[in-house]
Structure 1
Amino acid sequence: MSSLELGVVGNCGFNTLINRQGRIVWCCLPRIDGDPVFNSLINGDDPTGGFMDIVIDDFERAEQSYEHNTAILVTRLYDRSGAGIEITDFAPRRIHYERVFRPAMLVRRLRPLNGAPRLRVRVRPTHNYGAEKMKAVCGSNHIRYQAPELTLRLTTDLPITYVLEEIPFLLEGPADMLFGPDKPLRRPITSAAREEYEYTHTYWREWTRRLSIPFQWQDAVIRSAITLKLCSFEESGAVIAAMTTSIPESPGSTRNWDYRYCWLRDAYFVINALNRLGATRTMENYLNYIVNIVASAENSHLQPVYGVTLEKRLVERKVETLAGYRGDGPVRAGNQAYDQIQNDIYGSIILAASQIFFDRRLAHPGTRPLFDRLELIGEQCIRLYNQPDAGLWEFRGIAKVHTFSAVMCWAGCDRLSRIAVELGLDERAIHWRAEAEAIKKEICARAYDAERNTFVDSFEGNEMDASLLLLHELQFLSADDSRFIGTVEAVEKALRRGNHMMRYAQADDFGYPEHAFNICTFWMIGALAAVDRRDEAVAMFEHMLQCRNHLGLLSEDTDPITGELWGNFPQTYSMVGLIHSARVLSTAWEEAF
């Protein structure tokens, strides 16, 4: 049965998900949001296609781990006699001619352990979202897998017929498999695989060495940082919400969405995490993506989500050819959220872009023309902060004046004032400060329940929303403000389930939510730390670390009762939340020795 006990291999162009037995269950080629040629993760465990695996006879157990501080995954499979094989999976990534070389290629290196195990290699790609099997055509040292719009090539020094016909054989020595574009390999297979491994290993080790990390929980932060980088599409700089589509938030909920796109609501939090990590190149690439969105906005209108190369239309459709995760459909491609009204995104964009004006490390600092463009976004904040929208949780049939959306609009005006001061534009600074103060005054009048001493989810509302935990993080309220302390207590009482947090508790378009939303748990951890409840925050954080899968990765949601991971995987929001919480809670390096 499918689970999210998966490892991730990728190179910031495409990604592959591999289960504990070394089966490739998800891989979109040629890029991160493409047709999943391996898709058994969301095809009801269909045994006929949509995967690549290596099966040993008389299988007994498996081991899996990453090579230290890399995106190179090692899986070991053993039979009952103790014989086994080691599979090393990676996607090549290195600096070549002062450019990043990241082909849409997966490399699998095999070597026998303790003898010569008997195994079968099965390669069963599909196309058009599992509608058809790709046609296999045999070559001298390769197999071409053909579809009308895509041809892939497996080059290997394994016996071609054994692979093509899935014939069991003894693995008596090392072997290599290179799966990717239909291009001839013009160098020896073994040396090509070895060189790409060495380059890729060096790249990731050097990248992690430059990270700025907290003293405590270093391994968890490094793994989250690597995974966050793998969620970036380097060509454009976009950072996707997750690598998969249609993993349900909870069983039978039909909350199955395609997350292979870039949500503007995530921008500030992702930029903040990348900044704290010192991952400045990835951060700058993402900022460039955001600036391109601002530049292309017609009449300063922004939509909540865009494609990885700035696509605006992400028409959502149901994919009838895939059965769903554990058969729990529907499977969706595209996301209709692109045409929703979400007013928080205007503030989110300004918060994210603010980094450009203050970070002296960046190659291209903020300019007056960029500020002028952001002012147009700020005008949208003024116009929309008190208007109904779908909110950051993207309600499809509910519209309110959401408090979080209003606060983000306030934050947009507040940051424009600060940017204006930095640029020496005193008149504009005064203007934006006045607008921010006016918005804040109305939020406090209409979204604060004085009787309960808490902010609420919407203007004149009475429900709790986990996003209210960010009022201090966004600098709307100070941590010692009694209204913030009261809000934290009210949200905790309404939404906490053990060591997990729900987004909200009321019914939405799909009924009542059942599973906790991981980023909300990290928001609570941050809020607890801010109000001097650090020991409770640490305990909650340690529990969340135990909820990660065997490789240290998190999805979107967690069953608060069983601890099982649900929702799309791996989730950028969750990785960002872990990084932020570790930084807030960790002992300072200066105090560690």
Structure 2
Amino acid sequence: MSAPRFYGFISNSYTAALVGPDGSVDWFPCPRFDSAAVFCRLLDDARGGFFAIRPEGPWESRQQYLDQTNLLVTTFQTPDGQATILDFLPIGRTAIWRIVETPIPLVLTCRPTFNFGSCNAAYQIEDTGALFLHPAGTEALRLMINGPQTKREQRDQWTIGPGHVVVVLRYAQDAEREVPQLTEPLTNESEMIQRTKTFWLLNRLPYQGPWAHAFHQSVMVLRGLTYRTNGAMVAAATTSLPEIIGAERQWDYRFVWVRDAAYGAEALLLAGDPVGCRRYLEFIFNTVDLVGKPFAAPFYRVDGTVSHGEQEIGWLAGYRNTRPVRIGNAASGQLQLDVAGDFLWVVYLYWLTTQDHTFIRDYWWAIETLVHWVAGHWQQEDASLWEFRDDDDRYTHSQVMCWVALKAGQVFAEKALALPGLANHWAAQAQHVRKAVWDRFHQSGLPYLTQGPRHPQLDAALLTLPLYGFLAPDDPVFRETLTQIENALVVDDRVYRYRQDNLGTAVHPFTLAGFWLARVYHRLGRADRRDALISAQIASMTDLGLFAEHIDRETGEPRGNFPQLFPHAGLITTLVERQNPAAPWFHPWPD
């Protein structure tokens, strides 16, 4: 099965756009990842708005990233010659630059809408483009065309070329104040290209090993999903791309999940970027509430505020007519007990790697708050990392991550701050959690671990238990659990997260879970199975080296929000571990 073609992803680390193989920008929230989109044809062909440049006659196309940066080249092959578009978002500015080289005329269509297609733009045609205004708000976009161009009869279309054409679309949140400034010196495209290329090239990380292209693409995605102001990482660039076409599993992932971003920060740390990891940790530390529940929600907006509730947008048809389209995420109100452990695990790895005792002391107020809260609440039922709705339980993975939080707190108290009394208290609490997990295992009467006491099915999250040092990979109970997972959840080296939940059947494999399994095989010394799993997951990437949340088991197409942080972080961590068999995180906890 050849790599599927899907959208190209471009970012300026404030927001992102998706560009189709047909030269159309079909997704562009402004001014931030979690803002309303001005182009969202991704979610509705008719109402969504788009920004396309393409030949008028027949064509074939291909796409590639320029020099493994985040600058995207779309090449059209036509009977009359080859045209190229270089697309990028300039760093530090909410704008799309499109550099066109063409021997033939191309058709440019710019049709923005506001608030996810609910409001059409008012047009003011100008000599070199157009001004698009929100008729009931303050937003505006200015289109500027530098090069051969002719206005077509349709108000949102131009003919551009032949020749060299620079097209820039800039966004203003406050039109009255900003519109007069929305003019670019469009003759400086070489400088703008070079500055943008340099930004991405300087953000590469060293890697010597197999699958280097996939590694560097994954680092690029993590950088592209990072909000540059504070180091926060969003879980994905989109909302409401469905896991299953025609079903209801589609959610808004354009927020900073404590868990998902912790996976990203761990990947950056292990790959050699402690600064990127630390920036994320500081972002999350500064969301901690000292009174009540430390994490007000499992995820935050990119500015650190809480997103409340979920809205269904009835006027959009949805991707391939899959409704509903959702804005916001009702999981903001869930209890997800694993997130403190996910976060403190990365704090712990950062400390192990850097021995930065000052960092631990400076944020001890937050660390102590988190660990104390876990010590007092670990026995509660929660929604798990899968964010089940109305199906809480004492999920095994959540309980183990509470144990991780307590173990990290114990080591920090003992080794970094010399607080033996507190260290002993948290060590005792960690033992209580561990005993509870094993007591429930024995009560189940099964020879393997399960998802939870009321959920006796297999769950791919159980693969993480040896990755966090809860038990050894060759522990007999884990080996039996692994065998059961292999039989029930692994098909053609792709891994399902589980088979069933209260929304029905989980139809498609979960891309991150394949990397979990590869890491388990690595720790068991099964190099052949490890590499087979890695190869299978990488084969699930699009032709541009991008992952979605799931892979369609029949067509190979990406399913779910895109690109997704989870699998890209999983790929990086897996490849780094493969290259470092003696790394300290294989045996993380002191005896």
> Is this a same-fold pair by TM over 0.5?
yes
Report the residue type matching 1:411 in the other structure: V
Deviation of 1:140 after TM superposition, in Å, equals: 3.7
| Alignment check: 8 A CA contact 1:37 1:126 kept | yes
| Alignment check: 8 A CA contact 1:449 1:456 kept | no
Q: Does 1:143 align with 2:143?
A: no
* 1:3-42 matched pairs, under 5 angstroms: 5-42=6-43
Give the aligned partner of residue 179 of structure 1.
Answer: 169
Identity of aligned residues (%): 29
Give the aligned partner of residue 434 of structure 2.
Answer: 440
Please list the CA deviations of residues 354-404 of structure 1 after superposition, one character each: whole Å capped at 9, or x if unmatched. 355444387x94243522432221122222222211111111121111011
Deviation of 1:72 after TM superposition, in Å, equals: 0.5
| Alignment check: 8 A CA contact 1:4 1:569 kept | no
How far apart are the structure 2 equivalents of 1:326 and 1:365?
52
Report the residue type matching 2:51 in the other structure: M
Report the residue type matching 1:31 in the other structure: R
Deviation of 1:573 after TM superposition, in Å, equals: 0.3
Q: Does 1:207 align with 2:203?
A: yes
* 1:55-204 matched pairs, under 5 angstroms: 55-81=54-80, 83-93=81-91, 102-112=92-102, 116-147=103-134, 148-158=137-147, 162=151, 165=155, 169=159, 171-181=161-171, 182-184=179-181, 188-191=185-188, 193-204=189-200
User: TM-score normalised to the size of structure 2?
Assistant: 0.91
Give the aligned partner of residue 52 of structure 1.
Answer: 51
| Alignment check: 8 A CA contact 1:488 1:527 kept | no
SS of the aligned residue for 1:86 comes to strand
Give the aligned partner of residue 282 of structure 2.
Answer: 288
Give the aligned partner of residue 578 of structure 1.
Answer: 571
SS of the aligned residue for 2:359 comes to coil
Deviation of 1:223 after TM superposition, in Å, equals: 0.4
SS of the aligned residue for 2:94 comes to coil
Give the aligned partner of residue 174 of structure 2.
Answer: none
Deviation of 1:179 after TM superposition, in Å, equals: 1.1
SS of the aligned residue for 2:354 comes to coil
| Alignment check: 8 A CA contact 1:157 1:175 kept | yes
| Alignment check: 8 A CA contact 2:48 2:316 kept | no
- Tell me the matched-pair count: 568
| Alignment check: 8 A CA contact 2:5 2:21 kept | no
Q: Which runs of 5+ in 2 are unaligned?
A: 172-178, 583-591
| 144 and 365 in structure 1: CA distance in 2 versus 1, 3 angstrom threshold | farther
| Alignment check: 8 A CA contact 2:145 2:166 kept | yes
Out of 345, 350, 368, which is 1:375 matched to? 368
Report the residue type matching 2:565 in the other structure: T
Report the residue type matching 1:24 in the other structure: V
Deviation of 1:451 after TM superposition, in Å, equals: 5.5
CA RMSD of aligned residues (A): 2.3
| Alignment check: 8 A CA contact 1:449 1:455 kept | no
| 107 and 137 in structure 1: CA distance in 2 versus 1, 3 angstrom threshold | same
How far apart are the structure 1 equivalents of 2:402 and 2:546?
32
How far apart are the structure 2 equivalents of 1:495 and 1:407?
21
Please list the CA deviations of residues 35-63 of structure 1 after superposition, one character each: whole Å capped at 9, or x if unmatched. 111100111x22x6511111212222112
| Alignment check: 8 A CA contact 1:90 1:107 kept | yes
Q: Does 1:265 align with 2:259?
A: yes
| Alignment check: 8 A CA contact 1:525 1:541 kept | yes
Deviates more, 1:578-587 or 1:393-402: 578-587
Please list the CA deviations of residues 521-556 of structure 1 after superposition, one character each: whole Å capped at 9, or x if unmatched. 221121222223221221122122111101000100
SS of the aligned residue for 1:177 comes to strand
Q: Which runs of 5+ in 1 are unaligned?
A: 94-101
| 187 and 413 in structure 1: CA distance in 2 versus 1, 3 angstrom threshold | closer
Out of 395, 398, 401, which is 2:391 matched to? 398
Out of 406, 422, 429, which is 1:413 matched to? 406
How far apart are the structure 2 equivalents of 1:337 and 1:53?
35
| 353 and 306 in structure 1: CA distance in 2 versus 1, 3 angstrom threshold | same
Give the aligned partner of residue 324 of structure 1.
Answer: 318
How far apart are the structure 2 equivalents of 1:332 and 1:168?
33
* 1:526-545 matched pairs, under 5 angstroms: 526-545=519-538
| 232 and 330 in structure 1: CA distance in 2 versus 1, 3 angstrom threshold | same
SS of the aligned residue for 2:52 comes to strand
User: TM-score normalised to the size of structure 1?
Assistant: 0.91
| Alignment check: 8 A CA contact 1:137 1:144 kept | yes
| 170 and 9 in structure 1: CA distance in 2 versus 1, 3 angstrom threshold | closer
How far apart are the structure 2 equivalents of 1:124 and 1:430?
63
How far apart are the structure 2 equivalents of 1:297 and 1:224?
38
How far apart are the structure 2 equivalents of 1:197 and 1:450?
60
Q: Does 1:505 align with 2:469?
A: no
How far apart are the structure 1 equivalents of 2:7 and 2:407?
42
Please list the CA deviations of residues 535-591 of structure 1 after superposition, one character each: whole Å capped at 9, or x if unmatched. 1221122122111101000100112233221000000001111112222335889xx
How far apart are the structure 1 equivalents of 2:334 and 2:279?
26
Please list the CA deviations of residues 192-239 of structure 1 after superposition, one character each: whole Å capped at 9, or x if unmatched. x2211111112212221xx13241111100000001111111223221
Give the aligned partner of residue 337 of structure 2.
Answer: 343
How far apart are the structure 1 equivalents of 2:317 and 2:183?
40
Give the aligned partner of residue 585 of structure 2.
Answer: none
| Alignment check: 8 A CA contact 1:518 1:574 kept | yes
* 1:245-260 matched pairs, under 5 angstroms: 245-260=239-254
Deviation of 1:347 after TM superposition, in Å, equals: 1.7
Give the aligned partner of residue 97 of structure 1.
Answer: none
How far apart are the structure 1 equivalents of 2:372 and 2:270?
30
Deviation of 1:297 after TM superposition, in Å, equals: 6.1
Deviation of 1:344 after TM superposition, in Å, equals: 1.2
Please list the CA deviations of residues 433-458 of structure 1 after superposition, one character each: whole Å capped at 9, or x if unmatched. 22212211221121357854321111
* 1:453-492 matched pairs, under 5 angstroms: 453-459=447-453, 461-492=455-486
Report the residue type matching 2:476 in the other structure: S
| 30 and 4 in structure 1: CA distance in 2 versus 1, 3 angstrom threshold | farther
